[in-house]
Structure 1
C-alpha cells in the first residue's frame, strides 16, 4: 500500500517547525477521547451511520479513527520517516463497500474526522501559536487529500469486483434456469422474479465484414444493456452476448402477450443493433415454464430467419406452419437431406428461401434478391433438376420449406 499522501513529494512531508510539533504533541493524550466523540456523536449525523451495528461503531470505526489520529501525529513528529501507511483505511473501505455503505457516507466520515482533529488543534493552540496552527492545518489537509484518494480508490475497486461477482452469479442462475440445470423455483426467486413472465429471445447479426473483437463485443453488450434498462426501467433479467440472448420481463396486465413490449424493444434496439434485429416473445405462467418458453422463442427467431421472413418482431402466429414443419421426428433426416445436392450452392439456397417467402412470385423474388426475373427462373429450374423437388407443386413446396427449416438446426 502506498505510504505517501503527498503527490510529488516522493514519500516526504514538509518538516513542521518545532512549535507546530509541540502543539501537535499536546493532542496525543486526547486520541481516545476524540475517537469516542467522533464515533458516538459526530458520525451519528451522517446518513446511514446510525443503522450500523454497535460493534462496528465501537470496534472497527473507533479503531480506524484512532489509527488515523495517531498516524497524523506520528507524521508531524517524524515527517521524513515511515510513520505508517493506509492499509487499515483501505481494509475498512473494502469492508464498507461489501456491507453496502454509500461511498459519500464513508468519505464524509473521513472529512468529519479531519474537521474534529482541526477543532482539537485549535482548542490546544495558545496565543502566539497561530503560525504553528496554520502549519498543522496545511499538513492535515494535504494528508486528508491522500486518505480520501486511497479510500475512494479501494471502495470503487471493491464495489466493481462485487458488482462483477453479482452479475456473473446472476448470469449463471439465469443460464441454469433456462437450461434446466438449476431448480426453477429457486432461480426464479433469487432473480427477483414473481408471477407470470414474458421470455424474449434477441438476435442481432453483426454488420457484414465486421471483425469480432473483445473490446467491440463488450461495448456492444453494454449498449444493448443500456437500451434495455431505459426501455424496461431495469426490470428485465438478462443473459446477453454480442449476438443477442434472452431476457425475462414481468408480464404487464395491459400487455399480456408482450406485443407492445416487443414492438417497443424492436424500435429501441435498432438504434444500437441495426435494422436486422430479430426478436420473439413467449409467455411463461410459472417458473417451470421458463425453459420451454425460452426454447420456443429461440425457435421462432431461428425459423423466421430460415424461411426468409423480414427482420423485426416475430410471433408464433407468424410461423405456425413453419414451426410445425420444423419439429424433429423419424423423417427429419431424410427431409433435410433433400437439399444436399445444393448444399454447396448458397445462391440456390437463398433463391429457394426467398421464393418461398414471397409466395412463388418470381418478380418479387427477383426484386428482393436484386436479380433479373429470368435469372430467378434459371435458378429455380436448376434447383428442381438437382434435387428432384417440383417447387411449383404444393407437395414439393412443402417439402422444400420443411427441408430448409430442418437444415437450419444443423451445425455449420
Structure 2
C-alpha cells in the first residue's frame, strides 16, 4: 500500500538503526520468551539474529521506498516471507515449539513498532499510524507463512516417523528383529512385550453397535485407529507401537499387560462399540513377537467362535478349545460330523450359542431372543441331522471340536434366526 512522504521519511530514518534493533531483539527482548533462553547460542547469535535483521531491514526499506502511486514495471519487491518460511521449516526440524516461534515474530513486530515510535518527531503522529497499519498487515502475512511452513515440515517429519514405526511393527510381526538396538527403543526396557490383537471393528458406530457391523470407510478407519492409539498410549503412558487397518490390528505394549478387561472397555469406548473382543499373548522379547501374535490371533478367533463374553482373552482362558481346534489325523472325520447341518446356519448358530451359555436352554433362548421350546426343537433337529447330541457331555465336546475345526477352515459364520 502506498505511504505518505512523512511515513516514508520516518521509515528511512529508522532504517539506520536496523542492526541495533535486531541485536536488541535476539539478545534482549526475546530472552523473556518462555523456552528461548535454553536455545543454543549459535542459533540466537547467527540464525535468529540474521532473520530478525532481514525482517526489520526489509520492512523499513520497502516502507521507505513506497510511493503514493505505483511506479510501473521495475525490480521485484523483496519478499521477507521467503527467508521466514525457510527458517520456520528448519525450526520445525530442530524441534522448536511452534508457539515459541510465533511469539518471537509477534515480539519482533512489537519491538519494531517501539523503534518507530521512538523515532517519531512531533507532527509525525499520522506517519506513525500509517506505518503501524503497514506493520500489522505485514505481520499477518508473516505469521501465516511461518505457520504454514512449520506445519508442512512438521507433518512431513511426523509422516516419516509414523512410517518408520509401522515398518518396525511389520518387521517384528514377520519375525525380523532389527540389528540396531536403538530401533527397539519404543518397546522400552521391560524385556517382555505384550502383543495385543484386535478384530476388525467398524468405527464410530455409537452405543449399541456390534463387532462386524457397518462398512469400513478409509477415513472412518483412520479415525478409529487414532482413537485406539490414544487409548493405548494413555494405558501405557507412552507412544505404543501399533499397526491398524480395516482388518483389525496389532499393538505392542512394553512389559506385561495388567487389568486387561479395563483396557478392553476403554478400547470399545474408543471404537464406539458396545462390546469388543481382543486377545493378548506375551513375548519374552522382540524375537518372540511373531509367535506371540499368531497365538493371540488364534485365541481371539477361538474366543469369538465359542461365544466367549467380550473382553480381553488369554491362552489360559481357552486352553481346552485351543487344543480341540488343533488339526490332526482325526480332524477331517470330526469336522465331517457337521456335514448334515452344513446348510443350516440357524441350527449351527443355535448350537454355538447353546454351548457358550453352558448348555442352558433358557439362557440360550434369551441370547437368541426366541422361546426355550424353539431352542429344544432346533437342538433336536441338529441331532437328527448330525448324530451329535450337544446336551450330553461327550456330544458337547465333539460338537465343540467340530465347530472349532470348521472355523479353522474359514467357513462362513453361523447366523441363527
TM-score normalised by the chain length of structure 1: 0.83
In the alignment, which residue of structure 2 is the partner of 1:298?
297
1:351-362 superposed matches below 5 A: 351-362=350-361
Find the residue that maps to 2:278 and give its secondary structure: strand
* Residues in 2 aligned to 1:172 and 1:67: alpha-carbon distance in whole angstroms: 42
C-alpha distance 136-71 of structure 1, shift in aligned 2 (>3 A): same
* Residues in 1 aligned to 2:114 and 2:351: alpha-carbon distance in whole angstroms: 85
In the TM superposition, residue 119 of structure 1 has moved relative to its aligned partner by: 3.1
C-alpha distance 89-343 of structure 1, shift in aligned 2 (>3 A): farther
* Residues in 1 aligned to 2:46 and 2:339: alpha-carbon distance in whole angstroms: 75
Do structure 1's residue 239 and structure 2's residue 237 form an aligned pair? no
* Residues in 2 aligned to 1:127 and 1:150: alpha-carbon distance in whole angstroms: 36
Contact 1:280 1:297 (C-alpha < 8 Å) held by counterparts: yes
Find the residue that maps to 1:199 and give its secondary structure: strand
Cα-to-partner distance string for 1:34-66 (whole Å, 9 max, x where unaligned): 334433444344344444445544443233223
Do structure 1's residue 197 and structure 2's residue 193 form an aligned pair? yes
In the alignment, which residue of structure 2 is the partner of 1:31?
18
Contact 1:31 1:70 (C-alpha < 8 Å) held by counterparts: yes
Cα-to-partner distance string for 1:348-390 (whole Å, 9 max, x where unaligned): 2212212222343434333322233443344334434444545
Find the residue that maps to 1:151 and give its secondary structure: helix
* Residues in 2 aligned to 1:115 and 1:358: alpha-carbon distance in whole angstroms: 73
* Residues in 1 aligned to 2:219 and 2:343: alpha-carbon distance in whole angstroms: 34
C-alpha distance 51-281 of structure 1, shift in aligned 2 (>3 A): same
In the alignment, which residue of structure 2 is the partner of 1:364?
363
* Residues in 2 aligned to 1:88 and 1:329: alpha-carbon distance in whole angstroms: 70
Contact 1:235 1:249 (C-alpha < 8 Å) held by counterparts: no
* Residues in 1 aligned to 2:77 and 2:342: alpha-carbon distance in whole angstroms: 76
C-alpha distance 70-230 of structure 1, shift in aligned 2 (>3 A): same
In the TM superposition, residue 321 of structure 1 has moved relative to its aligned partner by: 0.2
* Residues in 2 aligned to 1:164 and 1:276: alpha-carbon distance in whole angstroms: 32
Do structure 1's residue 101 and structure 2's residue 105 form an aligned pair? no
* Residues in 2 aligned to 1:259 and 1:39: alpha-carbon distance in whole angstroms: 51
In the TM superposition, residue 146 of structure 1 has moved relative to its aligned partner by: 2.2
In the TM superposition, residue 300 of structure 1 has moved relative to its aligned partner by: 1.5
In the TM superposition, residue 409 of structure 1 has moved relative to its aligned partner by: 3.2
- State which drifts further: 313-322 or 212-221: 212-221
In the alignment, which residue of structure 1 is the partner of 2:217?
213
- Aligned with 2:111 (options 116, 119, 124): 116
In the TM superposition, residue 403 of structure 1 has moved relative to its aligned partner by: 2.5
C-alpha distance 226-140 of structure 1, shift in aligned 2 (>3 A): same
- Aligned with 1:88 (options 63, 83, 94): 83
- Aligned with 2:261 (options 260, 263, 267): 263
Count of residues in Structure 1 that have an aligned counterpart in Structure 2: 393
Do structure 1's residue 168 and structure 2's residue 163 form an aligned pair? yes
1:8-407 superposed matches below 5 A: 13=1, 15-76=2-63, 77-78=65-66, 83-85=77-79, 86-183=81-178, 186=181, 189-195=184-190, 196-203=192-199, 205-206=201-202, 207=209, 210-234=214-238, 236-241=240-245, 244-251=248-255, 258-260=257-259, 262-272=260-270, 273-329=272-328, 331-333=330-332, 335-391=334-390, 394-407=393-406
C-alpha distance 185-287 of structure 1, shift in aligned 2 (>3 A): farther
Contact 1:391 1:400 (C-alpha < 8 Å) held by counterparts: yes
Alignment gaps of 5+ in structure 1: 1-12
In the TM superposition, residue 188 of structure 1 has moved relative to its aligned partner by: 6.4
* Residues in 1 aligned to 2:318 and 2:82: alpha-carbon distance in whole angstroms: 63
In the TM superposition, residue 184 of structure 1 has moved relative to its aligned partner by: 8.0
C-alpha distance 110-198 of structure 1, shift in aligned 2 (>3 A): same
In the TM superposition, residue 344 of structure 1 has moved relative to its aligned partner by: 3.7
* Residues in 2 aligned to 1:65 and 1:188: alpha-carbon distance in whole angstroms: 39
Find the residue that maps to 2:408 and give its secondary structure: coil
* Residues in 1 aligned to 2:95 and 2:400: alpha-carbon distance in whole angstroms: 56
* Residues in 1 aligned to 2:48 and 2:335: alpha-carbon distance in whole angstroms: 70
- State which drifts further: 27-36 or 88-97: 27-36
Contact 1:237 1:249 (C-alpha < 8 Å) held by counterparts: yes
TM-score normalised by the chain length of structure 2: 0.82
In the TM superposition, residue 270 of structure 1 has moved relative to its aligned partner by: 3.5
* Residues in 2 aligned to 1:392 and 1:314: alpha-carbon distance in whole angstroms: 26
In the TM superposition, residue 176 of structure 1 has moved relative to its aligned partner by: 1.9
* Residues in 1 aligned to 2:17 and 2:39: alpha-carbon distance in whole angstroms: 25
In the alignment, which residue of structure 1 is the partner of 2:415?
none
In the alignment, which residue of structure 2 is the partner of 1:6?
none
* Residues in 1 aligned to 2:290 and 2:182: alpha-carbon distance in whole angstroms: 12
Cα-to-partner distance string for 1:268-327 (whole Å, 9 max, x where unaligned): 333343232112233333222322222222222211111111222323232110011222
